Amino acid sequence: MEEARPATAKGEATRRRILDAAFAEFAAHGIAGSRVDRIAAAAETNKAQLYAYFGSKAKLFDAVFFASMRRILDDAPIDPDHLGDWAVRLYDDYLTHPELVRLALWHRLERRPHGLLVEEHERLDEAKLNGITAAQRAGQVRRADPFDVMALVIAMSHAWSPASTVWAASPDEPERVHDARRTLLRDAVTAAVASGG
């Protein structure tokens, strides 16, 4: 359910500050570990105002989480004809915005440990799946469940993200290191999804 919309510019500014503060708090502490009083203080408002806009901590998390998912779609749009390039865009997005990955991890850990990350009716990947299906029909992408192809590419792009159990990349690493990973990722994804004929 969509949260109430403030009618004034001042109300919209307060709402934006709450979302920004909540984004930082939830990314750092998850749902259970986050504190509404810290969010309200960081947003320079009070808990009553926060609840008036969002209703509950859970609904505030939902607003932050889905905004972050839409942000990834905007920052790293899929090109089903060049899935290796899409994986590299995701790598770069995770590198510059690791908090987006952390929010998804908290959602997975605290809300949906199995199956889809979100409820079926909340999915934002229809355009991606349609694009992959079209690329499969054109013989550019191997025949497999389009969702599984998408999941594989996303998983490969996470190899050096905050979700990695091996190595989490940092913007402080030399650019040549990132370039080498980008090349490896692009080539590996392209080989993995190439049509078998």
Q: What is the pTM of this model?
A: 0.89
pLDDT 10s digits, 140-167: 999 999 999 999 999 999 999 999 999 9
- Residue 156 CA to residue 192 CA, distance in Å, equals 10
For 38-94, how does the pLDDT look when each residue is reduced to its tens digit (9 = 90+)? 999 999 999 999 999 999 999 999 999 999 999 998 889 999 999 999 999 999 999
